[in-house]
Structure 1
Amino acid sequence: MADLPNCETLLLNLEAGVLNVTLNRPDSRNAMSLAMVHELRAVLEGVRHDANVRALVLRGAAGHFCAGGDIKDMAGARAKGGDAYRELNRAFGAMLEEFQAAPQVVIAVLEGAVLGGGFGLACISDIAIAAESCKFGLPETTLGILPAQIAPFVVKRVGLTQARRLALTAARFDGLEALHLGLVHYCESSENLDVRLAEVLDQVRKCAPGANAQTKALLLATETQELGALLDSAAEQFAAAVTGAEGIEGTMAFVQKRAPKWAL
């Protein structure tokens, strides 16, 4: 079962196998504080082994997704010296790693500001739905700093050529350009965001949760593992899946022309 933490910077709502996680610091356009990083990591830990949680939906309160890192946190770290800056920055990167590896389908619903760290969060989502009016950007270099932890995820998402342009110009762009870049999968009017989200969640529910989790891990492994070894491992997983509970149920449902149990 999900073991959800008490949160001050997040709103959590678990319903019908979907955990809605809302970044809730509207006064700062949901800027990413260290406290929020810790709470997001605690949420991930709480649902990591709960197969009943099928999807995580990330969004922001009051019309913005996330305007980047919290400048107040950076100012506070300044008094503690370089180690504090390093630890603050690396904690955010660790959270991105954990989100990317989450067994659930991670869906980002993007509105308003999607800047800096918010841009990084968008890049680790499995499915991203953006409002046409979104304002995306990597503003770090205009502040004299660098997108240290998000850079690898941005490159994986949009490719090195586009990542160089975006990071080295701090260019702002909207949801439609994000769609063209491959940063997001859908670009919608603000009124249609929830309609598209409902459609995506219906699609996710048709997929077996265990098979989804293993498939996600397999896809991510293509970036790091040698091909032959990866295919050997995949063959073993396939054989186990075919004879496992989900494989048997999926096959029987197909033969009997009915929906499998996880889709009901």
Structure 2
Amino acid sequence: MPTTRSTPAAKLPICPDLLLDRDGPVLRLTLNRPDVRNAMTGEMVRQLTEVVAWAEDHPEVGTLVISGAGGTFCAGGDIKGFMASFRAARPEAGQPDPIQADNRRFGHFLTRIEALPQTVVVAVEGAAFGGGLGLACIGDVVIATRDARFALSETGLGIPPAQIAPFVAARIGVSQARRLALTGMRFDGAEAGRIGLVHEVVEDGAALEARVAKLVADIRRCAPGANATTKRLLMAQRTTALPDLLDLSSAEFARCLRGAEGQEGVAAFLEKRQPAWAAGS
């Protein structure tokens, strides 16, 4: 996976624990703490949230690719951070526990990244444990190597997978989420594909990189605004009654067809050429 940082026209945030590489409409984000298998600290989550805020403000970037440096996706939360929490003073009676607030920040981050207008591609090799597995579950397209290792490992540490559990259940269903969370079992990429946690399984890191490149090229042929609207409507089915969702969808269809992307897309089709957003893909 890429390990270089570019300097785009729209300045990217400075994130020491991440590698950010923008190539036109594609932003690649690499978790970059390979010495600890890219385990997430509170500071890394803060930096990830900063990147999400940047992406929210730059819808012209249509694709976000997330991977991990050093042949590992993410080993979950940094256990040293948990040890620091043990030493923190307990809150006074009636006051919220600061551990609760720290934990809740990760759920806020996952909610925001899942709702991004960008198409999010997650590429997993090595370990995806705990929060790393949760991060994989927010991807619009998730690819893993056959020998990647997954686990909902929190219960083995005496804690619940508190913030990631709803995202895991939404991805694979409550029944499978219960099986994984209540056993802490480890499983490989092939099993992750079988249960629907990942969409595609490839043989090795080289095949993973090739598949990501092909997916990025495919996404570039889609209008970024149309993709963002489609993603929002698909996500809305979780909470919106069908008649209301169909009404909303028809309104969005009309808005998009009358918009610049709709006019350009139809014109390009009739003129047998690529639309402007796909130039160079």
TM value normalised by structure 2:
0.91
Q: What is the CA–CA distance in structure 2 between the aligned matches of 1:226 and 1:91, rounded to whole Å?
A: 29
C-alpha distance after superposition, 1:9-48 (max 9, x if no partner): 1111111321111111111100010001000000011121
Which residue does the alignment assign to 1:216? 231
Which residue does the alignment assign to 1:22? 30
Which residue does the alignment assign to 2:207? 192
Which residue does the alignment assign to 1:124? 138
CA RMSD across the alignment: 1.1
31 and 50 in structure 1: CA distance in 2 versus 1, 3 angstrom threshold: same
Match of 2:102 among 74, 85, 88: 88
176 and 46 in structure 1: CA distance in 2 versus 1, 3 angstrom threshold: same
Letter in 1 for 2:121: I
Deviation of 1:77 after TM superposition, in Å, equals 2.1
Paired-residue identity, %: 50
Give unpaired runs (5+ residues) of structure 2: 1-8, 92-96
Which residue does the alignment assign to 1:259? 274
Deviation of 1:2 after TM superposition, in Å, equals 4.0
Q: What is the CA–CA distance in structure 2 between the aligned matches of 1:3 and 1:55, rounded to whole Å?
A: 17
Match of 1:182 among 196, 215, 239: 196
Q: What secondary structure is seen at the aligned counterpart in 1 of 2:16?
A: coil
**1:9 matched to 2:17:** yes
Q: What is the CA–CA distance in structure 1 between the aligned matches of 2:227 and 2:79, rounded to whole Å?
A: 37
Match of 2:259 among 216, 229, 244: 244
**1:140 matched to 2:154:** yes
Q: What is the CA–CA distance in structure 2 between the aligned matches of 1:54 and 1:109, rounded to whole Å?
A: 17
Letter in 1 for 2:86: R
7 and 130 in structure 1: CA distance in 2 versus 1, 3 angstrom threshold: same
**1:101 matched to 2:128:** no
**Which segment drifts farther, 81-90 or 35-44?**
81-90
Q: What secondary structure is seen at the aligned counterpart in 2 of 1:259?
A: coil
CA contact (8 A) 1:2 1:47 kept: no
Which residue does the alignment assign to 2:217? 202
Q: What is the CA–CA distance in structure 2 between the aligned matches of 1:71 and 1:173, rounded to whole Å?
A: 21
Q: What is the CA–CA distance in structure 2 between the aligned matches of 1:19 and 1:238, rounded to whole Å?
A: 27
**Which segment drifts farther, 191-200 or 228-237?**
228-237
Letter in 1 for 2:241: E
C-alpha distance after superposition, 1:187-211 (max 9, x if no partner): 1122201110011111100100000
Query: Runs of 4 or more off by more than 3 Å in structure 1?
Result: none
Q: What is the CA–CA distance in structure 1 between the aligned matches of 2:257 and 2:141, rounded to whole Å?
A: 27
> How many corresponding residue pairs?
264
Q: What secondary structure is seen at the aligned counterpart in 2 of 1:173?
A: strand
Which residue does the alignment assign to 2:3? none
Q: What is the CA–CA distance in structure 2 between the aligned matches of 1:17 and 1:208, rounded to whole Å?
A: 11
Give unpaired runs (5+ residues) of structure 1: none
**1:173 matched to 2:181:** no
Which residue does the alignment assign to 1:50? 58
